[in-house]
Amino acid sequence: MSDLDTFRAEVREWMASHLTGKFAELKFRGGSGEGDALPELRKEWERELAAGRWTCPGWPREHGGRGLSVAEQVAFQEEYSRAGGPGRMGHIGEGLMGPTLIAFGTEEQKKRFLPGILNGTEFWCQGYSEPSAGSDFGNIKTRAKLDPVSGDWIVSGQKVWTSLAHLSDWIFVVARCEEGSVGRNGLIFLLMPLAQSGVEIHPIKQIGGGAEFNSVFFDDARANARDVVGQPGDGWKIAMALLGFERGISTLGQQMSFQQELDLIVEISKENGSDRSPAIRQRVAYAWTGLRAMRYLAMRVLSDDQSAETRREALTYKYQWSNWHRDLGRLAMDVLKMDANVVSHDPRRERLQQMFLFARADTIYGGTNEIQLNIIAEQGLGMPREPRGKL
């Protein structure tokens, strides 16, 4: 047995012995369309993971992680998902905020914020999108003004589609700090506590019944002077680096969840006879091959080969998985037939219904299809940017 096989067995054994008892209810929960499910129990699960040193396993050892290799991190993500591990309440802190602070934060910021992420006691959300700044991220309107007395930053504006803000302790906010600046210039990256006057959080009800997204309003809210990451004006650079961390190892865990959804579709198709349809069989085969292609791409991008060709290929990943997952939702509904239209308490059917409804947004959030194609054309293929016409 190889060292990696031994490691996989260790993860499987730990999950089997800990995702039991009161935590058994969490199996396969907190996925597509139900990110706000069982929040307090999932926060407790984060602390259980922390006690076993399974939070932040890819972080360097000097910052409290296990220092796992890429192969080991992939193995952990896959075994965690295979065992039914719930959606991670701490994934924004672990996968985005923590690596950003390790790369760009001051020593004081690392000492203050990394332990709470590592221990599963402080939770973060992301303050990027605004009503007029989604895919067009450079159109940010939220303002940060320097208080000349305290050195703090006074923030006013609105963020929207903020996942789990109502369940979080802190938010990282990209705001405009230079009067008259436009686009990527004049931005600042701030760390802000949500429990303060001047911050209001309004949940957004989703089509599937949940409310994991929020609007966050800032009315002269305050960010401490010591809670600026980088320098004023570095906001765009920090924000883009953070998005690079977002497209990292966790994509393999995401693919394992996709595999479980596909397996469930196949299982139900065999039960209700949908598998006898040549068209359904063809679509299942297409979904299977598409998922394998995604895995090979992700593994190549995560390898040590960081050639220009590999970096170009990485630009296609979001477009690839979001369209694949949307089509998987359509396949699920066709396999369920008329049952797809009926509210169900069958957990299998409910999971696929939620997946279908949530997957409709996959090609919108994180950069729409149109934005992704522009990125591929301009950054990957070197095509010139077309000037925007006036309406």
Give the tens place of pLDDT for each residue, 218-259.
999 999 999 999 999 999 999 988 887 766 666 777 888 899
Place of tokens 């009800």: 205
Place of tokens 């703090």: 152
Q: What is the pLDDT of residue 304?
A: 56
Helix boundaries (H) for the chain: 3-18, 39-51, 70-82, 91-92, 98-104, 107-118, 235-246, 250-272, 278-302, 308-314, 317-336, 347-359, 369-375
Of the residues 44, 178, 246, 313, only one is catalytic, namely 246
**Same domain, residue pair 73 and 140:** no
If one counts the domains in the chain, the total is 3
Q: How many CB atoms lie within 10 A of CB 43?
A: 16
Please give the residue range of the domain that contains residue 161: 124-235
Would you call 202 helix, strand, or coil by DSSP?
Answer: strand
78 is catalytic: no
Q: Is 119 a domain residue?
A: no
Two structure tokens written together for 346: 């069958």
Distance, in Å, from the CA atom of 204 to the CA atom of 161, rounded to the nearest integer, reads 8
**Same domain, residue pair 85 and 40:** yes
Q: What is the pLDDT of residue 310?
A: 52
Q: With cut-offs at 50, 70 and 90, classify the pLDDT of residue 391.
A: very low
User: CB-based burial of residue 341 (10 Å sphere; 0-12 exposed, 13-18 middle, 19+ buried)?
Assistant: exposed
Place of tokens 């796992």: 68
Where a domain ends, among 235, 263, 278? 235
Two structure tokens written together for 153: 């930053």
Q: Is 391 a domain residue?
A: no
Contact 248, 74 (CB under 8 A): no
The pairing of strands 153-159 and 170-176 is: unpaired
**Same domain, residue pair 255 and 297:** yes
Where a domain ends, among 89, 116, 150? 89
Q: Rounded to whole angstroms, what are the CA distances from 37 to 41, 53, 174?
A: 9, 24, 28
Q: Is 96 a domain residue?
A: no
Where a domain ends, among 64, 89, 114? 89
Query: 310-332 pLDDT, tens per residue?
Result: 567 788 888 999 999 999 999 99
User: CB-based burial of residue 331 (10 Å sphere; 0-12 exposed, 13-18 middle, 19+ buried)?
Assistant: buried
Q: What is the CATH number of the domain that holds 215?
A: 2.40.110.10
Length of the chain equals: 391
Q: What is the CATH number of the domain that holds 55?
A: 1.10.540.10
**Same domain, residue pair 149 and 264:** no
Which of 102-106, 162-166, 343-347, 351-355 is predicted with the least confidence, judged by mean pLDDT?
343-347
What is the sign, positive or negative, of the torsion defined by CA atoms of 293, 328, 315, 302?
negative
**Same domain, residue pair 144 and 79:** no
Residue 386 has pLDDT above 70, yes or no: no
Two structure tokens written together for 205: 């009800």
